[in-house]
Amino acid sequence: MISKQEVQHIAKLARLSMTEEEEEKFAKELSSILDYVEKLKKADVSEVEAISHPFEIENVVRKDEERSDKKKSDNKRLVEMAPENKDGYVKVKSIF
Amino acid sequence: MNILELTISQINQGLKKKEFSAVDLCKAHLKEVRERDKEIFSFLSLNEDSALSQAKEVDDLIKADQEISPLAGVPCAIKDNILIKDLKCTAGSKILENYIAPYDATVIKKLKKQKAIFLGKTNLDEFAMGSSTENSAFGPTHNPNDLTRVPGGSSGGSAAAVAANMSCYSLGSDTGGSIRLPASFCGVIGLKPTYGSVSRYGLIAFASSLDQIGPFAKTVEDCKIVFDAIKGEDEMDSTSVPLKDENLKFKIENLKIGVPKEYFVKGIDPEVEKIIKGAIKKYEEAGAKIEEVSLPNTEYALPAYYIISPSEASANLARFDGIKYGYSESKKNSLMDVYLESRGKGFGPEVRRRIMIGTYALSSGYYEAHYLRAEKVRNLIKNDFEKVFSRVDVLMAPVSPFLPFKIGERIQDPLSMYLVDIYTVSINLAGLPALSLPVGKVGSLPIGLQIIGKPFQEDMILETARFFENNKK
């Protein structure tokens, strides 16, 4: 069972605002989902490694150089997609 | 001849013989969308002007007696989590309601090279999280076979558009069944390729170790044409791999079909079971060998999936911060409030639920018990498949234990919605290719047979499906 306090803690970690009513609803729903995944405890995983991908894959790297298919105007467009931007920079609230 | 019912190769022939023009074809589809989509709601946005000018270009090539590629002039629909440059891409979310894609996904680049016609973008569960398309921030899609029912999800709009002949084919994405389930519920063919067969570049990420883009089509042949057009290694997706030609010589007498007993247990709708078993019987009568097999860790697939996919989603969706792009409550005073309010108001209930589950499973103190354990279970599931695939060529099972359900029937109970995917999620955990093939109906409601293959053996499952299609009465 997940408490309302735990929901508040996770919501803050996840950066999600929530009304009190929603906190109660989430507490109930998350509890039933987490009860369901408890099933995993029954699986015998003593002799098996964890995998994060279905197949073994290797890192792929490229040379750190400018790509010919990207234009300066693309950068401008990306910055201008930010809700607040100024002089080619993304504007962020002061953090102090 | 109904121009809306043509397959890809019929369109290609018709265009070359000048029986109709690409503009006529495009106009006919757009007209059908305007008329029928009022009640189905497959499309979130239409791309009329540029679709018509793309079609005109194809007509000009034909007039000039130039060669055209198989997909040239063929109208298609694209799930709205795949980027088409300069078109809106919402992912079914309020947080991306006004987002205009700044570049093309690799699959779109490939289709553009073939001069495909993009009719528009299709509806989906928000960020592809759901099994009914009811989680779209813009309203649910209705099943064309019965408007009171869901089309399945999350690629419900793409499946419904093809089922209702509003589009010749379409693209969707599949993280835990999001192509196969709507293909089954709508009665079209849907293919989830092997993880790595198709580039994910330009697909809005949900769970990156599970996501794959794949086609919906009316026939197996069409499905293969589209898959062949979009597959292949891409330098923009480090998980995509170079593909070898399978050189397949398919013979039904040589086919060994495994039927996993864990997929036919209590909880399956008896009518679904009857139709699926009937379809498998047809293969047996034609000479294929049928063997009951066991995938003993099947019961852990869904709980493992509901730890792994939300965990990856919670990390992927961290980029939506109200600062870089998308919906923003930027008038707030502090940075923390911009984060909290932009995300709290921008994401819908199911997306927030999954972010919460993922954040919980990855948080300190729970990581080993939940996330790490789920990734070990993932290996058990993968091993189960490897074992049975040393004995059989393909596996056959239902796509879902349920018939298409009523709109509103499951949406209030998240867990009952998750159970709809019980037969599809293991395939994503193991990275395998699988498709849904329509093999029967209960009343007006279609049922899909799931054919699962070995890694990178898409041609094998497509040929297996084609055999059924060719031998239908």
Cα angle B166, B92, B416; round to 5: 95
Into which CATH architecture does domain B1-473 fall? Alpha-Beta Complex (3.90)
**B323 and A14 in contact by Cβ < 8 A?**
no
Q: CA dist B212 to B82, B128, B253, B262, B386, Å?
A: 11, 12, 32, 25, 20
Q: What is the pLDDT of residues B57-97, one digit of tens each?
A: 999 999 999 999 999 999 999 999 999 999 999 999 999 99
Closest Cα to residue B156, out of B375, B395, B405, B458?
A: B405
The better pLDDT of the pair B13, A1 is held by B13
A94 contacts on B by Cβ (under 8 Å): 335
pLDDT tens-place string over residues B101-138: 999 999 999 999 999 999 999 999 999 999 999 999 99
Q: Which pLDDT tens digit goes with each residue over B303-321?
A: 999 999 999 999 999 999 9
* B137 token code pair: 């921030």
Q: What is the CA radius of gyration of chain B?
A: 21
Q: Do A49 and B376 touch (CB under 8 A)?
A: yes
Mutate which: B96, B366, B377, B419, vs A, most A CBs within 10 A: B377
Label the pairing between strands B394-398 and B256-260. Answer: parallel
What pLDDT was estimated at residue B254?
96
Determine the pLDDT at residue B346.
97
Summarize pLDDT for B166-197 with one digit per residue, the tens. Answer: 999 999 999 999 999 999 999 999 999 999 99
B147 CB within 8 Å of a chain A CB:
no
User: Is B154 an active-site residue?
Assistant: yes
pLDDT at A73: 81
Q: Which residues contact B267 (CB under 8 A, 6 or more apart)?
A: B401, B419, B422
What is the average pLDDT score of chain A? 91
Of B155, B178, B240, B311, which is the active-site residue?
B178
pLDDT of residue B473: 60
Q: Cβ distance B216 to B225 under 8 Å?
A: no
Give, as one character, the DSSP assignment of residue B347.
Answer: S
On the question of pLDDT at B299 being above 90, the answer is yes
- Which tens digit of pLDDT belongs to each residue from B27-36? 999 999 999 9
Query: pLDDT tens digits for A7-43?
Result: 999 999 999 999 999 999 999 999 999 999 999 999 9
Domains of chain A: 4-41 (1.10.20.60)
pLDDT over threshold 90, residue A65: no
Helix (H, G, I), strand (E, B) or coil at B432: coil
State how far the Cα of B347 lies from the Cα of A94, in Å rounded to an integer: 25
Q: What does the pLDDT look like over B330-384, one tens digit per residue? A: 887 899 999 999 999 999 999 999 999 999 999 988 899 999 999 999 999 999 9
B136-159: pLDDT as tens digits? 999 999 999 999 999 999 999 999
Nearest-neighbour CA in chain B from A9: distance (Å)? 9
Query: At residue A59, does pLDDT exceed 90?
Result: no
**Domain range annotation of chain B:** 1-473
Mean pLDDT, range B440-452, rounded to an integer: 98
Neighbours of B337 (CB within 10 A): 17
Mean pLDDT of chain B: 97
A74-78, B28-32, B144-148, B220-224 — which is least confidently predicted?
Answer: A74-78
Whether B244 shows a pLDDT value over 90: the answer reads no
* Helix, strand, coil % over all residues of chain A, rounded to 5: 45, 5, 50
Assess A79–B contact: CB distance below 8 Å, yes or no: no
Touching check for A81 and chain B: CB below 8 Å? yes
User: Taking CB atoms and an 8 Å limit, are A18 and B375 in contact across chains?
Assistant: no
Average pLDDT over residues B37-57: 98
How far is CA A66 from each of CA A69, A72, A88, rounded to the nearest angstrom?
9, 11, 19
Going by C-alpha positions, the residue among B66, B68, B183, B62 that lies closest to residue B116 is B68
Asked if B377's CB is within 8 angstroms of A43's CB, the reply is yes
SS3 B175: coil
